Amino acid sequence: MKPINTSTYTFRDIREGGYLYVDKTAILHTLVQQFKGVFFLSRPRRFGKSLTISTFEEIFKGNKDLFEGLAIYNLPYDWKKYPVIRIDLGSRQADTPEKLDSKLQEAISDSAHQYHLETSGVDSSSHFLSLIRQLSDSFGKVVILIDEYDKPILGNIDNPAIGEILKVLKGFYSVVKTADASIRFAFLTGVSKFSKVSVFSDLNNLTDLTMDSRYATLMGFTQDELETNFSEYIDQLEKKENVSRQDLLGKIRNYYNGYRFSKEEITVYNPVSIGKLFETQEFANYWFETGTPTMLINLMKKRQIDIEAEKKRWIDSEAFSAYEVDRLEALPLLFQTGYLTIAEVERIGTMTSYRLDYPNLEVATSFTKVLLSRQIEKPLNEVSGALRNLLVGFSKNDLETVFLALQSLFSGINQELHIPLKKYYQSLFVMVFRLLGAEIQSEVKTADGRIDAVVQSFDTVYVIEFKLNGTAQEALDQIRNKDYCLSYQNSGKKIVAVGVEFNKEKRNVSEWLCSK
């Protein structure tokens, strides 16, 4: 069994250290064998972008021996050595345009010193151009690899200086076009696509691979790659979990698979979660714990976005195109950062539309818990404690315990956070039951209206109606009068109608009634 290393993102270290490497070099070969190209690929954090950059670097430095046993080793390629400029902006944080320009100059200087060169210029852009031209004159055409091109943007979304920071980046990236004749290959990675940055506005020769089905599996692991490369680790976990291989693979798929980056129905596993799973032999929310989406949560609170409603909305392909920093849209940003992924694709004529959803159980539970915690302004450990009490009540079909626990959870909602709308409470309710692992649907269409929520346990269907400006009895009467339970009479489960009243003054559940 080759050891798994989840903290190394350097191709050379992985190969020389004898660590397990899932071979992606056949896909890389389709890019490097081209005579020339400038490429961009967006993927969520911790998805293998840095490892891909590192692998390209070793290919273009002509280090063929490192690839022995991998697909590219026997494919037609000349292994010519090129000068490589590699820049990682993830490690060069700056909150002013002056600091950013200085950090970029440092990055250029580091690359120049590797080739015993000194650059000249008045700013980072001119130093960058100077380095490309010197390398080209001395060694031939240049390879440029830029990792996390958008980190200076994402780290300064709410910074008043963001406009000036963008100008620095615009000038820096425009060098790639200016020096086009001196460049053999350029590859840029990031999480998001922003317009008003020359990567997308000036580089008319840029090829965006983000949603190209040919490169949908370049980062992340396919089902076949999982079962082939991690077979012995699966054997270990199968014994530990004491389940059949089929059941174990289903559980792994449910937890960590589901990321889809193209129109084609191709999904991949998050690599950091899979690595950690087999390294620790324990199921946990590994990817989510590597970073909290603070910017996204703040944006969703500010815009009062109901993620359950958003997941039902269809969006066109333009939503995935470059967008502006001062007009961020939550749904495409949730997709690009990995918290939502493509669930369905609909083609009507020449138009393609997409519906998004959580990729897997890891993301669904973790993100929902953070959303709930921020909405009710309670720490995650307090939310987790309340959820345990709720789970006990729900598992026993004890609605009294469930609603008392809900009251405790929702108590003390900050007046400033409170939104006196039915959908606000409805969304909190849906988040809670999703975290309990219950099957829950909201706004379920019927012949005579929409059911606010339907919750299913292994033996019971709860048909639930909410009232903000009405009573629990009125809610229960609506369920009866509109025959909301009719659709579930052949389910083989017990059906319970539940009317719930939310009190906007108390900002909590005030009454509930049920009938069987």
In a domain, 368, yes or no: no
Same domain, 188 and 80: yes
Cα 444 to Cα 120, 227, 449, 485, 486: the distances in Å are 65, 38, 8, 11, 13
- In terms of domains, do 130 and 258 share one? no
Give the whole-angstrom CA distance, residue 148 versus residue 156. Answer: 14
- 316 in the same domain as 392: no
| Number of neighbours of residue 226 by Cβ within 10 angstroms | 23
Looking at the structure, tell me whether residues 234 and 205 fall in a common domain: no
Q: How far is CA 217 from CA 72, 73, 201, 266, in A?
A: 16, 20, 27, 8
Residues 99 and 235 occupy one common structural domain: no
Q: Is residue 481 part of a domain?
A: yes
If one counts every other C-beta atom within 10 angstroms of the C-beta of residue 42, the result is 24
Instruction: Tell whether 2 is covered by a domain.
Output: no
| Interacting residues of 394 by C-beta distance below 8 A, sequence separation 6+ | 402, 433, 436, 438, 457
CATH number where 61 lies: 3.40.50
Burial 447-462 (b: 16+ CB within 10 A, else e): eeeebbbbbbbeeebb
Predicted local confidence at residue 316, as pLDDT: 86
Query: What pTM value is reported for the model?
Result: 0.88
In what side-by-side order are the strands of the sheet with 351-357? 314-316, 351-357, 341-348
SS3 state at 66: helix
- What does the CA dihedral 121, 122, 123, 128 come to, rounded to 10 degrees? -10
For β-strands 37-42 and 259-260, DSSP reports them as unpaired
> pLDDT tens digit string along 149-199?
988 888 888 889 988 998 999 899 999 999 999 999 999 999 887 665 656
Residues 92 and 18 in one domain: yes
| Number of domains into which the chain is organized | 4
- Domain-located, residue 362: no
CA pair distance 291, 45, nearest whole angstrom = 9
Domain-located, residue 285:
yes
Domain that residue 446 falls in: 377-515
Q: List pLDDT tens digits, range 121-143.
A: 999 999 999 999 999 999 999 99
Closest to 100 measured CA to CA, from 172, 196, 45, 49: 172
Same domain, 65 and 46: yes
Is 363 part of any domain? no
Burial (CB < 10 A; 0-12, 13-18, 19+), residue 207, is middle
**Which residue, of 156, 181, 210, is where some domain finishes?**
210
Q: Are residues 27 and 174 in the same domain?
A: yes
Q: Using CA atoms, how far apart are residues 342 and 359, in angstroms rounded to an integer? A: 8
Give the per-residue pLDDT at 436.
Answer: 79
Helix, strand, coil proportions of the chain in percent (round to 5)?
45, 20, 35
Q: Find where tokens 């909602």 sit.
A: 413
Q: Residue 122: which residues within 8 A CB-CB, separation 6 or more? A: none
Q: Are 41 and 209 in contact (CB under 8 A)?
A: yes
Provide the pLDDT for residue 288.
81
* 441 strand-pairing partners: 454
- Where a domain ends, among 185, 210, 235? 210
Please work out, in degrees rounded to the nearest 5, the angle formed at the alpha carbon of residue 180 by the alpha carbons of 119 and 203. 110
Q: Are residues 206 and 82 in the same domain?
A: yes
Tell whether 189 and 236 lie within a shared domain.
Answer: no
The gap between the terminal CA atoms of the chain, to the nearest Å, is 56
Q: Alpha helix locations (H) across 422-501? A: 422-435, 472-481
Considering the domain architecture, whether residues 79 and 184 belong to the same structural domain is answered as yes
H or E element that contains 40: strand 37-42
Query: Which segments in the chain show pLDDT lower than 70?
Result: 194-204, 292-293, 321-323, 326, 412-421, 516
Q: Considering the domain boundaries, does residue 163 fall inside one?
A: yes
Please indicate, yes or no, whether residues 158 and 276 belong to a single structural domain of this protein: no
Does residue 431 lie within any of the structural domains?
yes
Residue 388, C-beta contacts closer than 8 angstroms, at least 6 positions apart: none
Q: Which of 289, 324, 341 marks a domain boundary?
A: 289
Rounded to an integer, what distance in angstroms lies between the CA atom of residue 312 and that of residue 107?
44
| pLDDT attached to residue 412 | 65
